[in-house]
């Protein structure tokens, strides 16, 4: 519990860093008076920069990070594999395919692209489920491997479509495909916020049943937990989280993947959805701060930073997780 | 009963030998048919006589001779790439005892692609010969990282762990690639075409500059086929049969890396050919790599050339690159393998 509180404080800290510091700094009193609706005398642009750039980035990053971190931990717990997060087993690549289909075939941009991504993510999970269905359940490697296969196909089709549209659209799509908070707006924030407000309480409500699945299906059903329906419920909830988050920001690489294992290290070897969600949010906001301020003038998408920083972290985590299990 | 058992025991080696002969002839026949198909079928139909004449008089200047010269170079490169990828996949599956061995699934294609882009962006690399150097480095990096990380832990490098670590490595490599190509529209424009596997991009000059890698790679993998057989028995068993396990595995890995790097440099990333050919050959030949390895050199081009032909005729007048058609054909086969095989330890 202490760890969760510490993480929450950490999240507030990086949120403050993202909003107040960087190439354009804002003083704390000024920040609150802008929030209250006042302009800052002598700095006419400050209100615009805070309300239209820094704050939306930080808020959307927080929400998306919470969603990625939480859904990653749920997938890893349900599939009983620390490597099996939604971004690795095909959902990210399918969302990308959906978005590029929307761009290339329907001329979509912005919201249209996000909708395409949402449809792609949901369709992907439906297909994996359909193909991996067997008598027992979705647990297991078959689900993971079919996801990986779908992922390779989605990448090939995405690349094909991307090579057929004009270069401006391709450049536009490439930024979304990397994962970016650049299109953060209050409208997007309210959509994702609404999803989180509905889904997160549901996840918390039945989390006792979810954690019972950790010890094994037979043990769990012996404890009176409805195994199959719990599993279905949590898959649907986790997919909702990741699909909407991907739609709003694009697939930000590795956040869902690394949050769960890092959270496990923090809270001492147990699965913790709360810790994982908070770590996801910290990672996204911090990475976005680096992305926005690393190269003066240039604006890297946040996904580049999480990808490059995430790769070595991931290698270390995998190594540590495997050692731990043996 | 004993008579029946006797007759089975006696006939098995003979039958197997004749069956292998039959498969060999079959693969060669399919190979010839595929080459002819690749030369004759396309978005613009050419009748065999005109095609033959144009092929042997490439300097005639007619539109047919240009077309046929183009198709010939595609076919030649397709033969090389098909052979290379199939041999690499077969060696990978054998040496890691992993039925899901494939350059795309294990992240080797992404590693090679990523380093090629790094080469283009940092030192302005161009041409297949230079690409190949970068691609081989990337492939080696990917192979070493993915295999050694997946090997950590008690259960060792299981197929699922290898595939997951490969996918994670791919995701990381892809974001580094993205960081490079987002720096400018020119890079993006060049790369978005390059990242799709295609047979029509390279010239004979490119092929020649990569050929040494291909030859060494084939020698190191196909030449060590009997060692791969011993690996299939497990490391301890192979050791007791007198194999220097670590050394041989390293040498075969070097061979696989050279093959994958060469293929990416010439044609870009192509998925699933390396996966399906060894499975098909194992189904008809049994698990003997002394046969699987050399025959994969002939069987790989068959599938790859037909995939290329399908890409030419599917959406005329445009062509779909072979990297895309291979994925469309390959993924159902991959999923079929996963659904039916218990050996994947599902």
Percent of the residues in chain B that have a pLDDT greater than 70, as a whole number? 92
Report A:154-183 residues touching B (Cβ under 8 A).
155-157, 159-160, 162-163, 167, 170-171, 174-175, 177-178
Q: How many domains does chain A have?
A: 1
Most confident region among A18-22, B119-123, B265-269, B342-346 by mean pLDDT = B265-269
- Put simply, the answer to whether A311 touches B175 (Cβ < 8 Å) is yes
If one compares B194 and B327, the residue with the highest pLDDT of the two is B327
- Say if residue B9's pLDDT is above 50: no
- Say if residue B125's pLDDT is above 80: no
The CATH number for A153's domain is 1.10.3470.10
Q: Report the range of poorest mean pLDDT among A16-20, B30-34, B208-212, B232-236.
A: B232-236
Domains of chain B as residue ranges with CATH = 15-340 (1.10.3470.10)
If one compares A170 and B311, the residue with the highest pLDDT of the two is B311
What was the pLDDT predicted at B345?
41
Contact between B181 and B226 under an 8 Å Cβ cutoff? The reply is: no
d(CA B125, CA B109): 18
What was the pLDDT predicted at A284?
93
Q: Give the list of residues 6+ apart from residue A265 with CB closer than 8 angstroms, or none.
A: A320
The ranges of chain A with pLDDT < 50 are 135-138, 326
Q: Out of B176, B193, B327, whose CB is closest to A308?
A: B176
What was the pLDDT predicted at A323?
64
Confidence of residue B233 (pLDDT cuts 50, 70, 90): confident
Q: Out of B167, B171, B324, whose CB is closest to A156?
A: B324
Whether A219 and chain B come into contact, CB under 8 Å, resolves to no
Q: Out of A81, A87, A167, whose CB is closest to B189?
A: A167
Whether A39 and chain B come into contact, CB under 8 Å, resolves to no
Report A:54-93 residues touching B (Cβ under 8 A).
81, 83-84, 87-89, 92
Confidence of residue B214 (pLDDT cuts 50, 70, 90): very high
Q: What is the mean pLDDT of the segment spanning B47-62?
A: 77
Q: What is the mean pLDDT of the segment spanning B191-197?
A: 82
Average pLDDT, chain B: 84
What was the pLDDT predicted at A60?
93
User: What DSSP string describes B212-280?
Assistant: HHHHHHHHHHHTTHHHHHHHTT-HHHHHHTT--HHHHHHHHHHHHHHHHHHHHHHH----SHHHHHHHH
- Put simply, the answer to whether B171 touches A88 (Cβ < 8 Å) is yes
ipTM for this model: 0.82
Task: Report the 10 Å Cβ neighbour count for A65.
Answer: 32
Q: What is the mean pLDDT of the segment spanning B143-149?
A: 88
- Which H helix or E strand runs over A2? helix A2-20
Whether A197 and chain B come into contact, CB under 8 Å, resolves to no
Q: What is the mean pLDDT of the segment spanning B327-342?
A: 81
- Report, in angstroms and rounded to the nearest whole number, the Rg of chain B calculated over CA atoms: 21
For residue A257, the enclosing domain spans: 2-325
Quick: pLDDT tens for A277-318: 999 999 999 998 888 887 665 677 888 888 888 877 777 777
- Put simply, the answer to whether A307 touches B338 (Cβ < 8 Å) is no
């Amino acid at each position: 519990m202490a760890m969760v509180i510490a993480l929450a404080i950490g999240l507030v800290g990086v949120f403050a860093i993202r909003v107040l510091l960087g190439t354009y700094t804002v003083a704390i009193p000024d920040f609150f008076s802008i929030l209250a609706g006042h302009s800052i005398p002598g700095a006419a642009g400050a209100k615009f920069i805070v309300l239209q750039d820094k704050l939306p980035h930080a808020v959307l990053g927080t929400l998306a990070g919470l969603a990625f971190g939480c859904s990653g931990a749920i997938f890893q717990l349900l599939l009983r594999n620390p490597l099996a997060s939604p971004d690795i087993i095909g959902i990210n690549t399918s969302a990308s395919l959906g978005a590029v289909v929307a761009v290339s075939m329907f001329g979509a941009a912005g919201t249209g692209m996000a909708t395409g991504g949402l449809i792609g993510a949901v369709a992907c999970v439906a297909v994996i489920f359909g193909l991996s269905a067997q008598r027992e359940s979705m647990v297991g490697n078959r689900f993971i491997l079919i996801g990986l296969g779908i992922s390779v196909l989605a990448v090939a089709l995405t690349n094909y479509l991307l090579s057929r549209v004009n270069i401006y659209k391709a450049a536009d799509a490439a930024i979304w495909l990397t994962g970016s908070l650049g299109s953060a707006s209050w409208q997007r924030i309210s959509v994702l916020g609404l999803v989180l407000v509905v889904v997160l309480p549901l996840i918390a409500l039945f989390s006792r049943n979810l954690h019972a699945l950790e010890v094994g299906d037979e043990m769990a059903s012996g404890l009176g937990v409805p195994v199959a329906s719990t599993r279905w419920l949590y898959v649907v909830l986790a997919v909702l989280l990741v699909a909407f988050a991907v739609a709003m920001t694009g697939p930000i690489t590795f956040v869902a993947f690394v949050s769960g294992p890092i959270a496990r290290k923090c809270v001492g070897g147990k699965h913790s959805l709360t810790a994982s969600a908070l770590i996801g949010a910290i990672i996204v906001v911090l990475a976005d701060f680096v992305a926005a301020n690393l190269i003066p003038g240039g604006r890297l998408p946040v996904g580049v930073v999480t990808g490059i920083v995430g790769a070595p972290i991931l290698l270390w985590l995998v190594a540590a997780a495997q050692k731990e299990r043996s | 009963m004993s008579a029946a058992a006797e007759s089975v025991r006696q006939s098995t080696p003979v039958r197997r030998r004749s069956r292998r002969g039959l498969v060999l002839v079959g693969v060669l026949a399919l190979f010839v048919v595929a080459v002819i198909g690749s030369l004759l079928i396309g978005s613009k139909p050419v009748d065999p006589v005109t095609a033959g004449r144009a092929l042997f008089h490439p300097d005639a200047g007619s539109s047919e001779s240009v077309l046929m010269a183009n198709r010939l170079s595609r076919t030649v490169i397709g033969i090389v790439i098909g052979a290379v990828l199939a041999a690499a996949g077969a060696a990978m599956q054998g040496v890691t005892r992993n039925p899901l061995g494939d350059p795309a699934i294990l992240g080797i294609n992404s590693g090679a692609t990523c380093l090629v882009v790094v080469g283009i962006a940092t030192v302005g690399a161009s041409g297949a010969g230079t690409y190949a150097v970068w691609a081989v480095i990337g492939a080696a990096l990917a192979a070493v990282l993915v295999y050694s990380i997946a090997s950590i832990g008690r259960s060792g490098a299981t197929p699922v762990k290898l595939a997951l670590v490969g996918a994670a490595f791919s995701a990381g490599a892809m974001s580094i690639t993205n960081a490079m190509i987002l720096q400018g529209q020119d890079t993006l424009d060049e790369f978005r075409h390059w990242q799709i596997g295609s047979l029509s991009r390279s010239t004979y000059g490119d092929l020649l500059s990569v050929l040494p890698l291909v030859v060494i790679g084939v020698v190191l993998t196909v030449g060590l086929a009997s060692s791969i057989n011993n690996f299939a028995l497990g490391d301890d068993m192979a050791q007791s049969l007198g194999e220097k396990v670590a050394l041989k595995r390293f040498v075969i890995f070097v061979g696989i890396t050279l093959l994958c790097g060469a293929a990416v440099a010439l044609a870009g990333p192509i998925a699933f050919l390396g996966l399906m050919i060894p499975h098909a050959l194992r189904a008809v030949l049994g698990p003997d790599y002394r046969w699987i390895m050399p025959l994969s050199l002939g069987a790989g081009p068959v599938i790859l050339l037909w995939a290329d032909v399908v890409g030419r005729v599917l959406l005329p007048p445009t062509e779909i690159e072979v990297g895309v058609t291979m994925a469309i054909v390959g993924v159902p086969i991959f999923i079929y393998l996963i659904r039916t095989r218990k050996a994947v330890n599902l």
